Amino acid sequence: MSREARVVGIAETPFVRNSPHSAVQLMCQAIEAALADAHLAATAVEGLAICTMTVPDDAPFLAEAMGFELGWIDKCDQGGAAAVTSLIRAMHAIEAGYVDVVVCVGGGNRDPRLDHDSVLTIGDYSRRNYVAPLGYGGPNSMFGLIQRRHMHEYGTTLEQLGTIAVTQRRHARANPNALLREEMGLADYIGSRLIADPIRLLDCVMPCSGSAAVVLAAADRVAPDLPHVPVRVAAAAENVNHQVRDPLPDRLSTGVRALAPRLFRDVARDDLDFVQLYDDYPIAVLMQLEDLGFAEKGKGGAFVEQTDLAFDGTVPLNTGGGQLSCGQPRSTGGFVGVVEAIRQLQGRAEGRQVPDARAGLVTGIGHLAHSTNLACTAGLVLERSDPWR
């Protein structure tokens, strides 16, 4: 069993609106902090998975700038799904016996001059030729189309969607690294200004600056003095280009549908102690709840209305506030849920700790396609590794 991988360290830099540090500097800070959390030295690192979409420098050059000689490297370019896919790839590299210690990292700066991803223009030709020239609003308007259709087809209401945002904000108030911590009610959500109707300001993640890193190690390389319980991967699944062969794909169905049976093979959905669902918009969370089977398609609105989504409720959702309240440091966004999931399993989520959290789900979604919704979806079921290791 020594080739099983364990998650042993996590770190987030402070999430701030503006940082004088470049994305790469922020990534270095998160890596140092995550290694300290793992009780491992930087010289132990053999693999690096960097989550970024459009690097002007390739991953090896970034690793060189950071001072790593490695036995394995990967660039994860699945957008919002990249944090989850980086952990999956790191786990596979360790379990294959290829390397013993891997760091997964993402980082971004809201200021394009200090960011790494923003240097290049849109690479994807379908958005470049068939979406952007119309003057679209980025993900805001793509989700505007999706949410309008969901409201029309299934009668989903702003009150139902707002419940997600408001619950998460309550969680954020107990998370010192969340950027948005002032009280927020349903009326604030509904009354916020329109950005891409029916998407409102409080539907949208706030871009910010920061980085996060996660350290994985082979089970026999876990530091003997590690002060918190290691975490193992119980199930992992990815989907790319859901419904690609359908000329009229269902805009309201996501690749998460394909993940569900693979994710819940060992740990059943009902046995999850929490869910950290990628939340660039409340409507994205609602569709994932449907596609994971928490509710039938179209009944996600009724589900959030009737379910206590608080950290001490029946289906604890985005217990650190999610990206909607923490902020989205570009490609690091997917790490918000990953890091929070690990914190919960290690009993380190002070003020919002899910009682006796033993297993939880984290998802990532990324890239918006011309006529469907998400190109990439990925999920991980994580659980405490008891007994120790």
Partner 1 sequence: MAVTRPRPRPVPWDEGFWERARAGTLAVQRCGECGAAQHYPRPVCVRCRSDLLRWETAGGAGTLHSFTVVRVPLNKAFADEAPILLADVELAEGVRVLARVLGREPADDDIGASVEVTMVPVEPDGVPLPHARLVDGART
Task: Give the residue with the Cβ less far from partner 1, 36 or 145.
Answer: 145
Task: Give the residue with the Cβ less far from partner 1, 122 or 268.
Answer: 122
Of the residues 1, 67, 133, 356, which one makes contact with partner 1 according to CB under 8 A = 133
Tell me how many degrees the CA angle 39-77-96 measures, rounded to the nearest 5.
Answer: 55
128 lies in the binding site for partner 1 (CB under 8 A): yes
Dig out the tokens for 5 from the structure.
Answer: 């991988």
**Contact letters (x/-) for partner 1, 243-262, by CB under 8 A?**
-xx-xxx-x-----------
Provide long-range contacts, Cβ within 8 A and 24+ apart, for 368-371.
368/127, 368/139, 368/142, 368/143, 369/126, 369/241, 370/126, 370/127, 370/130, 370/131, 371/249, 371/251
126 lies in the binding site for partner 1 (CB under 8 A): yes
Of the residues 136, 173, 269, 299, which one makes contact with partner 1 according to CB under 8 A = 136
Q: How far apart are CA 101 and CA 91, in angstroms?
A: 10
Q: Least CB distance from residue 378 to partner 1, whole Å?
A: 22
283 lies in the binding site for partner 1 (CB under 8 A): no
Q: Least CB distance from residue 136 to partner 1, whole Å?
A: 6
Residues with Cβ within 8 Å of residue 118, at least 6 apart in sequence? 112
Task: Give the residue with the Cβ less far from partner 1, 2 or 129.
Answer: 129
Q: Which of 91, 364, 103, 304 is nearest to 211 (CA)?
A: 103
Provide long-range contacts, Cβ within 8 A and 24+ apart, for 145-152.
145/251, 146/251, 146/252, 146/283, 146/287, 146/373, 147/198, 147/199, 147/203, 147/281, 147/283, 148/197, 148/198, 149/251, 149/252, 150/252, 150/283, 150/286, 150/287, 151/198
Pairing of strands 274-276, 101-108: unpaired
Task: Give the residue with the Cβ less far from partner 1, 149 or 358.
Answer: 149
Of the residues 132, 158, 174, 206, which one makes contact with partner 1 according to CB under 8 A = 132
Q: Cβ distance 23 to 109 under 8 Å?
A: yes
* Location of structure tokens 């971004």: 108
145 lies in the binding site for partner 1 (CB under 8 A): yes
Of the residues 3, 17, 265, 370, which one makes contact with partner 1 according to CB under 8 A = 370
Q: Cβ distance 106 to 364 under 8 Å?
A: no
298 lies in the binding site for partner 1 (CB under 8 A): no
Q: Which of residues 226-245 bind partner 1 (CB under 8 A)?
A: 244-245
3-state secondary structure 315-342: CCECCCCHHHHHCECHHHHHHHHHHHHH
Q: Which of 168, 155, 377 is nearest to 253 (CA)?
A: 377
Task: Give the residue with the Cβ less far from partner 1, 61 or 130.
Answer: 130
Q: Which of residues 183-202 bind partner 1 (CB under 8 A)?
A: 193-199
Of the residues 149, 173, 181, 299, which one makes contact with partner 1 according to CB under 8 A = 149
Task: Give the residue with the Cβ less far from partner 1, 67 or 133.
Answer: 133
Query: Applying CB under 8 A, what is the total number of residues that bind partner 1?
Result: 39
Of the residues 67, 121, 182, 356, which one makes contact with partner 1 according to CB under 8 A = 121
Tell me, what amino acid is at 85? T
Q: How far apart are CA 215 and CA 102, in angstroms?
A: 6
Q: Which stretch binds partner 1 (CB under 8 A): 78-86, 143-151, 182-190, 275-283?
A: 143-151
123 lies in the binding site for partner 1 (CB under 8 A): no
108 lies in the binding site for partner 1 (CB under 8 A): no
Task: Give the residue with the Cβ less far from partner 1, 47 or 80.
Answer: 80
Positions in the binding site for partner 1 (CB under 8 A): 121-122, 125-126, 128-138, 140-141, 144-146, 148-149, 151-152, 193-199, 244-245, 247-249, 251, 370-371
